[in-house]
Amino acid sequence: MAKKNAESKPDRKEESCANVLDKLDSAEAASALGKLLDRHSELRSEAEAIACDMLTEISPDSVADEIEEALLQFDYDDLNGRAGSHSWGYVEPSEAAGELLEEALEPFVNDMKRHLEMGLEDQASQFCRRILLGLYRLRDGRENDILNWVPDFPGEAAANALKVWSGTGGAERGSARVKKIRRRLSPDFVRGHLPDWDWLLKPGP
């Protein structure tokens, strides 16, 4: 009789894990996917195809607008939280402003680099152009409290983003790295959208 009752009860572990996938954060979901693929290697090619489709569906067209928002979000309260005297020393307002802006731009540059490393050349190229466009729009500082402390930031950040795009290696196939592509900005794009930054067309070091 006891055996019958045991069999009739639902598995408590299964019940407690119901819908748990919907509650995982991105790191937990990635870990769960990794373990699933370790146990079922036959699903890897399908998972990679789905991931590739997801990445190529992401439109970089809004990146310029997002960069504007990210770099214009700060005010004097944010600056005062970084600048001034601290236990480790004094931080100049210009240094603090530069740190805030670099941290805000970093996710966009990393996203572009990630696409390059996966071999998504066209998508990465679009990201690069949109990053440059977003920075170009802010080249005059927009009378922004933070940008005015580092007026050279948009140009310097554009040069760095271009360097990352042109110098990052592509995807690997097996143990051999794909031949490095010589990436150059389109002169038509620069002249049409970034006319004051024609220096972007000069070969890098």
User: For 80-91, how does the pLDDT look when each residue is reduced to its tens digit (9 = 90+)?
Assistant: 888 877 666 778
Stretch 111-119: mean pLDDT, rounded? 90
Which of the given ranges, 40-44, 46-50, 113-117, has the highest pLDDT on average? 113-117
Of the listed ranges 20-34, 95-109, 178-192, the one predicted with least confidence: 20-34
Tokens describing residue 93: 């307002």
Q: Report the first-to-last Cα separation within the chain, whole angstroms.
A: 82
Kindly state whether residues 86 and 181 are assigned to the same domain: yes
Kindly state whether residues 22 and 99 are assigned to the same domain: no
Residue 177 is inside which H or E element, if any? strand 176-177
CB of 109 closer than 8 Å to CB of 160: yes
Kindly state whether residues 144 and 183 are assigned to the same domain: yes
CB of 143 closer than 8 Å to CB of 91: no
Tokens describing residue 89: 């020393």
Kindly state whether residues 18 and 88 are assigned to the same domain: no
Kindly state whether residues 98 and 128 are assigned to the same domain: yes
Task: Check residues 102 and 12 and name the one with the higher pLDDT.
Answer: 102
Kindly state whether residues 32 and 96 are assigned to the same domain: no
Kindly state whether residues 127 and 165 are assigned to the same domain: yes
Kindly state whether residues 52 and 66 are assigned to the same domain: no
Kindly state whether residues 14 and 65 are assigned to the same domain: no
Look at residues 34, 57, 80 and tell me which one is the last residue of a structural domain: 57
SS3 113: helix
CB of 131 closer than 8 Å to CB of 68: no
Q: How far apart are CA 151 and CA 138, in angstroms?
A: 9
Which of the given ranges, 54-58, 74-78, 133-137, 178-182, has the highest pLDDT on average? 133-137
Look at residues 38, 57, 76 and tell me which one is the last residue of a structural domain: 57
Look at residues 28, 57, 86 and tell me which one is the last residue of a structural domain: 57
Kindly state whether residues 143 and 167 are assigned to the same domain: yes
Domain count within the chain: 2
Kindly state whether residues 148 and 92 are assigned to the same domain: yes
Kindly state whether residues 145 and 174 are assigned to the same domain: yes
The predicted model scores a pTM of 0.71
Greatest pairwise CA separation for the chain in angstroms: 85
Task: For residue 193, give its domain range.
Answer: 61-201
Q: Is the pLDDT of residue 66 over 80?
A: yes
Q: Is the pLDDT of residue 23 over 80?
A: no
**DSSP per residue over 68-98, as a string?**
HHHHSS--HHHHHHHSEEETTEEE-HHHHHH
Q: How far apart are CA 31 and CA 43, in angstroms?
A: 15
